Chains A and B, each alone.
Chain A
Amino acid sequence: MRTAHAPDLATVRVGRLEAFRRRPLLLGAVGVVLLAVAMVAGIVLGNVPVPLADSIAILARRLFAWPVAETWSPAMETIVVELRLPRVITALIVGTGLAVAGTTFQGLLRNPLADPYVLGTASGAALGAAIGVLVPVQIAVLGFGLVNLLAFGGALLAVAAVYRLSGGGGVGSMTSVLLTGYAVGSLLAAGLAMAMYLAGSNIRQIFFYLLGSFAQSSWPQLLIGLPVIAIGCVLIMLRARSLNALLLGDEAAVHLGLDVKRERLILLALASLITAAAVALAGLIGFVGLVVPHVVRLVVGPNARLVLPLSALFGASFLILADLVARIPGELPVGVITAIVGAPVFVVLLRRFRGGYEV
């Protein structure tokens, strides 16, 4: 028998996290500390360990031109400044972008299973990358090779096609957008299969891209990739109100004063742009955009004003740490690590907070 005073299982378990729910800033502070620790670990640890003091001194000297005596080898300096720092920053910005885009797609589509790749972005990017591998042309724009550029273009083209084919999304039509995304994704996947069949010995390169990696991260790539994702994320966060209004559905959102069609187009475009930029920087990395927003929501509730920035923080830390784990045994694809960690975490969450989600 259930009395009014007997809290159910889910309430008891969430109870421990209640402090964060009452004071989300506290969780933000935890997120900032975690991010700082992850960044330091990402710079210090690796196949060639660089002592913490030396790392700090190198960065102080190179970034802020502090007059610090050189007690390290030039190789160490190159490792820190040219390899690890851009790599850590790329993981940070990609993790931020995927978490924010995932939160946005889940809110827009009102579907907890949505992730940044749900509207065909993944297959579009994959097909673009595969074509980039097949075409024997070498070009590089701002540090991006043909593979990255075609992945970026493929992702954006796929979303644009989905949006157009589904009729642009009037009030109450997000289901058709989702289904169109599935259809377009399946079609592009067929193209990808064909490209892989034709790739012969280059197939490994395509696979590498499909599973994601930060091995190619460089400063020139960040020069364009970082501002695109950062600005996109800020613009989405400024529209948190719209995501909140959409929680109760399109009609309720109209009655709360939202221009549903316009806001949805803007949010969709921003989230897709972020996803495409993230894909161009690091390939397809799953689970960050799906799991991180859910974990944050379970702790602080679905208010987008909180979920967006907190997801950004934890997504960044998660991906920096995942990349660290991926490169220590010798360059595993980072997407494998995020899946190995993300999938069980997701299953545990769903079981614990049963009733918390229904599809």
Chain B
Amino acid sequence: MHGLSVSVAGLRLTYGRRTILENVDLDIASGERVCIIGPNGAGKSSLLRCLTGLVPTEPGMVRIDGMPLAELGRDRLARSVAVVPGQVALPFSMRVEEVVALGRIPHEHRLSGPRLADHAAVDAAIERAGIGHLRGRDARELSLGERQLMLIAMALAQQGRLLVLDEPTVHLDLRHQVEVMQLLVALNEREGLTVIAVLHDLALAASMFPRIVLVADRTIVADGPAAAVLTADRIRDVYGVDPRYLPALLAPLL
């Protein structure tokens, strides 16, 4: 089992007359760990939405493992690409293992429901995310950090070979940030999953991801290792930060 590759060529996305993304080219090889960064409203989340099929794109603009997104079909896409949900509001009380089990929906039998293999995959995902102690807890009473680990477990139960996360560490305390990041690194390095995450914390991105993609002004402006992408000049230009604050902000990077 290898991680999936992703290739984006000449991607353009418009909502009405507003252009959200244009001229986006991005090749992510199997087993890479990539972080997408950029200012608010630059198009990071939209790029993720295109990659995961949430927003329809023109044929051939996005390919997963060489296959155009549209030809992949909903079912196969859901079995190949696991997206960790962003904000989640559960309408009913649910236990942690029940939420994780939702990840099996693309695999389970349409009519007869989950089988033994599905239950085993849920157990394995709970184990892998290290949340065995949360079994039986009401998912709505978890702390944000526990909740994030639960949602990652759900994505793991989905058994996709590409894991996509939109700001997985936002609002988390330091310990949970590290825990989530260590899990992502392990999944990527030991199990070969391709991992794509959007982050806002530049220091975290730089320390945990070998490849950084900087999105600004509707397109990709830099792509490569942190040292090459996160230069003081570029951060000042892209984020519009007063140069006086840069040394303090970038201390961990420089």
Residues of chain A touching chain B, judged by Cβ–Cβ distance below 8 Å, are 10, 106-107, 110-112, 171, 238, 240-241, 244-245, 247-249, 251-252, 254-259, 297-298, 301-303, 305, 353, 355-358
Contact = CB atoms under 8 A, between A and B. Distances in A.
Nearest to B94: A302
B108 A241 contact: yes
A10 B140 CA distance: 13
Contacts of A353: 93
Given A256-B105, A256-B106, A303 B98 contact: yes
Nearest to A4: B133
A238 B111 CA distance: 6
23 contacts: A241-B105, A247-B91, A248-B88, A251-B54, A251-B86, A252-B85, A252-B102, A254-B54, A255-B78, A255-B83, A256-B158, A257-B77, A257-B79, A259-B74, A297-B93, A302-B92, A302-B93, A302-B94, A302-B98, A353-B93, A356-B93, A357-B93, A358-B140
A298 B93 CA distance: 8
Contacts of A245: 102, 105
Interface string B45-84: 0000000111000000000000000000011011101110
Interface in B128-152: 138, 140-141
B93 A256 contact: no
Contacts of A241: 105, 108, 110, 113
B6 to A, nearest CB: 15
A106 B138 CA distance: 19
Contacts of A238: 111
A251 B151 CA distance: 14
B248 interface: no
Contacts of B53: 254
Given A258-B74, A297-B92, A248 B102 contact: yes
A332 B79 CA distance: 54
A309 to B, nearest CB: 12
Contacts of A357: 92-93
Q: What bracket does the count of chain B residues touching chain A fall in? A: 35 or more
Contacts of A106: 91-92
Contacts of A356: 92-93, 138
B84 to A, nearest CB: 9
A151 B116 CA distance: 47
B174 interface: no
Contact of A251 (B85, B94, B110): B85
B183 interface: no
Nearest to A7: B136
A272 to B, nearest CB: 20
Contact of A112 (B78, B91, B106): B91
Nearest to B107: A257
Nearest to B75: A257
A357 B93 CA distance: 6
Contacts of B103: 256
Contact of B102 (A244, A254, A297): A244
Contacts of B110: 241
B148 to A, nearest CB: 14
A356 B140 CA distance: 8
Contacts of B91: 106-107, 110-112, 247
A297 B98 CA distance: 13
Most chain A beta-carbon neighbours within 10 Å: one of B81, B90, B91, B93: B91
Nearest to A240: B113
Contacts of B113: 240-241, 305
Given A238-B111, A356-B138, A248 B92 contact: no
B14 to A, nearest CB: 17
Contacts of B141: 355
Nearest to B103: A256
Contact of A252 (B75, B88, B111, B138): B88
Contacts of B85: 248-249, 251-252, 255
B89 interface: yes
B92 A255 contact: no
Given A257-B79, A356-B138, A112 B92 contact: yes
Given A254-B53, A257-B106, A301 B111 contact: no
Contact of A247 (B75, B79, B90): B90
A353 B75 CA distance: 37
B95 interface: yes
Contacts of A247: 90-92, 94, 102
Nearest to A301: B98
B26 interface: no
A333 to B, nearest CB: 31
A255 B81 contact: yes
B242 to A, nearest CB: 36
B140 to A, nearest CB: 7
A110 B90 CA distance: 8
Contacts of A171: 54
Contacts of B106: 256-257
Contacts of A249: 85, 88-89
Contact of B78 (A10, A248, A256, A298): A256
Nearest to B87: A249
Contacts of B158: 256
Contacts of B98: 301-303
B138 A301 contact: no
Given A247-B91, A255-B54, A357-B92, 10 more contacts: A238-B111, A248-B99, A249-B85, A255-B78, A256-B106, A256-B158, A257-B79, A297-B93, A301-B94, A305-B113
Nearest to B138: A355
Given A112-B91, A241-B110, A244-B105, A255 B52 contact: yes
